[in-house]
Structure 1
Amino acid sequence: MKRRKHTVLEIINITPETFILRLDRQDFQFEPGQYVVIRIPDMKKGREYSIFSATTDDYLDFLIREIPAGEFSRYLRHLTPGSELDIEGPKGYFILNEKTKQGHPTLMIASGTGISPFHSYIKSYPELNYRIIHGVHFADEAYGRAAFDPEKYILCTSRRDEGDYFGRVTYYLKENTVDKDTICYLCG
């Protein structure tokens, strides 16, 4: 697959561990739920990141967790505007089916930065009939929460009682039924 050069527009710090890498969009086309391989120019290393932005945004956003011993994520976090990265993609088939796009009840279950494809879905298709269950350690990790309808977003926090539910997503699901006809998407 062909590599394309994209320019860093900004690094947006979300928490001490996470940030948004914002790149220029150019004419890059994708379906919500797809990912790219980001490569550092002149290096063989590359990492896969789901697209966080909407198809209507004029930039490409990637929600990234900096891994403490992770050379690649640390490198990305310290880029400055104007730096260039190579992008391969879009790739992947974690895209919405037609039934979901037509309003069928849909449940999206994410943990941590696994919220990225769901953020892209909802920003690209705001009329979806969805619920999101997002599992994180702490409430400040509710990445992109403002994009979601608060009536449809359930934050499960596992380390501190500061979300909508205190405990892991799996415990929430044991206590709350999901209709058997619901379409489910899981990431993270």
Structure 2
Amino acid sequence: MSYQVALSFEDGVTRFITCGPHETVAEASYRSRINIPLDCRDGACGTCKSRCVAGEYDGGDYIEDALTDDEAAAGFALPCQMVPHSDLVLEIPATAEFAKTGAAVHAGSITEVRRLSASTVAFAVELDDRDQLAFLPGQYVNVAVPGTGVTRSYSFSTGPAEKAVSFLVRITAGGAMSGYLADRAEVGDRVEFTGPLGSFFLRDLVRPALLLAGGTGLAPLLSMLERLTDIEVAHPVHLIYGVSSDTDLVELDKLRAYADAIARFSFDHCVADEASTAAHKGYVTSLLTPERLHGGDVDVYLCGPPPMVEAVRGHLRESGIDPANFYTEKFTVAAEVGR
């Protein structure tokens, strides 16, 4: 049986390779012309040592000097020896440039532009080479804004298995993508993007997970939830979605559908505006109860603007809670940056 291996490089680029039966990750990488760090090829030097953050594998044969028992217990392995027993995600200690590779470029046509609220637009793209695009739920791409010379970064709001790919965009005055989507975008327009990119992606669920979204930071978490519809979920997964005003709330019906479809998934939302009609008024931190933090035995995934990220960090610090893992994706909602 063949397995897919995601090679996540230090500069945020992710490339996917296919490992055949009994083939090592290093062999598959070089067959794909991706030169991951490698020296001895027989488990003696440790040059290729990488951390596996998802999946199962046979670590192969190696000497203690190349990989200690403590390192192996922490998830490190030697690609020159490891043979996948499932799909894997591997953090490679090198840049994509060092490995003589780079992010892939994909193109397609817009199939839908949907105004979700006064402040948010969703658009979908059907790619020319969908079978060539692989990404991890939570990752983003750099989209070339049609008719301009600029690119903007957007996380997938759809899962890796869906045919069309979709994105959420906050409309900002003077924004390049905002102006395009609001004024000129039409079904059939051609769009090109580069990726996937980023280290913010869903890992194996080995403990409870807490997903925190601010505004259109909901997009990568929707991608993660879509992935969870395809697997058995053995631990609680809770999402807290915060926005500034009622007009910023989007995709609540989709979240309710996920709550029905995913075992042990639940969600809350809150609105900062005191005039809101939402049941919970305030910020995401107001819903970070001890019940949701599991005494620190929790993996936290947070996508939102920098002030939100820092507010959550401060809340956890004041609460004396140190999560098992805290994965973040910061973005700035501004005309010159966009998300």
Kindly provide the amino acid, as one letter, of the partner of residue 277 in structure 2.
E
Quick one: distance in 1 between partners of 2:300 and 2:280? 20
* 2: CA distance, partners of 1:91 / 1:80: 27
Partner of 1:113: 216
Q: Which amino acid aligns with 1:166?
A: K
Unaligned runs of 5+ in 2: 1-102, 305-339
Query: What SS class does the counterpart of residue 152 from structure 1 fall into?
Result: strand
For 2:278, the equivalent position in structure 1 comes to: 163
- Answering whether residue 197 of structure 2 is matched by residue 91 of structure 1, we say yes
More displaced 10-residue stretch of structure 1: 178-187 or 73-82: 73-82
Question: Counterpart of 2:220 in 1: which secondary structure?
Answer: helix
Structure 2 residue aligned with 1:138 = 245
- Residue 271 of structure 2 aligns to which amino acid in structure 1? T
Identity %, equivalent residues: 26
Aligned partners of 1:65, 1:116: CA distance in 2, in Å?
Answer: 11
CA RMSD after TM alignment: 2.0
Change (3 A) 1:121 1:44: same
Report the CA distance between 1:96 and its aligned residue. 1.5
For structure 1, the residue ranges without an aligned partner over 5 or more in a row are none
Structure whose alpha-carbon radius of gyration is higher: 2
Q: How does 1:11-160 map to 2 (within 5 A)?
A: 11-25=113-127, 26-27=130-131, 28-40=133-145, 43-77=148-182, 78-98=184-204, 100=205, 102=206, 104-126=207-229, 127-128=232-233, 129-148=236-255, 149=259, 152-159=266-273, 160=275
| 1:106–1:9 Cα change, 3 Å | same
Cα-to-partner distance string for 1:85-140 (whole Å, 9 max, x where unaligned):
11101111111122x2x5x2100111100011110011111254310111112345
> SS of the residue aligned with 1:134?
strand
* 1:48-82 deviation per Cα after TM superposition (whole angstroms, max 9, x unaligned): 00000112221010000111121332113431011
Native 8 Å contact 1:131 1:153 kept in 2 = yes
Measured after TM superposition, the shift of residue 141 of structure 1 is 3.0
Native 8 Å contact 1:36 1:48 kept in 2: yes
Q: TM-score, normalised by structure 1?
A: 0.88
| Misfit runs of 4+, over 6 Å | none
TM-score normalised to the size of structure 2?
Answer: 0.50
| Contact 2:117–2:249 (Cα < 8 Å) also in 1 | no
Aligned length: 183
Gap change, CA 1:73 and 1:37, over 3 Å in 2: same
- 1:18 and 1:93 mapped to 2: Cα distance? 25
CA spacing shift, 1:64–1:42, aligned 2, 3 Å: closer
